[in-house]
Structure 1
Amino acid sequence: MSSNALMTFKSHIEGKNADVAIYHDRVEWNRGRGMSAKKLTAGFLTGGASLLATGVRSSNAGTEMIPVKSISSVVTKRDGLMYTKVVVVASGNTIDFRVPHDSAPGIKALLTDLVLGKIPASGQAAPAAPPVQAPAPAPQVSAPVEQLRQLAELRDAGILSEEEFAAKKAEILARM
């Protein structure tokens, strides 16, 4: 993604990891090839038989873009224990960027400012306040095995339901 982006971040879009960049005039995201958490979980549970039967290719790879001028709304919604969805509504398209809770306010603020014209295009005069900076990536708390142990403890304590546990476990395994 280009170096003149106002903000870049990692997101989870439609079950796939994506690299997202916000520019003065557009929002772009690139989803790489890889397996979804659902496919990886099915492969794990069937001892690899489902992966042999269906293959490991993914058709969701590619780059997409929404022009800032077509964005009509930016909304945030909590999505589980660790994530927030930043929902961008544009003419003919709605996209959910799933990001950590601490990143969502900055992303929403930048997109809102762009839509409202509070941040001038790169060729215009500089804004009175500095542009919103991308939040520093949070250091990885622990190894995936430790995360799985903590997740199991939350489930055993009754904090997480079995469904929430299974979904988060599949997500952690997909990152391995």
Structure 2
Amino acid sequence: MKAFTLTLLRHGDIAARGRLIGRTELPLTRQGERQMTSSWQRIAAIPVQSIACSPKLRCRPFAVEQSLERGVPLKVDPRFAECDFGDWEGEPTDQLAAEHPDWYNEMVAGRLTPPGGESFAAFRARVLAGFADWIAESRGSHRVLVTHGGVISVLLADLLGTSFAVARLMTVQRGGFAQLSLLEGHPAYLVRLELPDA
């Protein structure tokens, strides 16, 4: 496999400030659309040959539009959806923290699973399986994945050989992106971490 560039583009702003959003379907706000368009202009400075995305409304329509405009293959894969937070879905995060102190770290450590939701181990396993399949079947020197914050953190941790906690410190803001250089058999290199335009 030749070296290629991988861009992990996080969906833009959604009307969900302070709430836990995983499986919930929410469209991008106008600001979110502007963020994605602006980031794509920077991303596409390196011609894109392959796109994959989450099927969620905040990811898929933008990816479909870019795929059609450029004649680039698109894979829509449910394995790139955000974690399913079950009964916690839509909850204010400050309320969740009051009821379950350190809930996020407890979930990542495998000591807590959202009621009716997905364990972190299951979430991580499906994301990595989806990514491995897409990379094996896709072609080109620049591949773009349009997805969610949790998915990006899982992939950064795996590709950079670090812990999820460290990967989360490299937070990709909504509408921003991370870009890596990959070559099979070698460590991945993080070459760009970009904020969205306001």
Please classify the TM superposition score into its range, dividing by the shorter chain length. Answer: under 0.3
Q: TM-score, normalised by structure 2?
A: 0.26
Relative CO higher for 1 or 2, CA cutoff 8 Å, sep ≥ 6? 2
**Greater share of helix:** 2
Higher strand share: 1
TM-score scaled by length of structure 1: 0.28
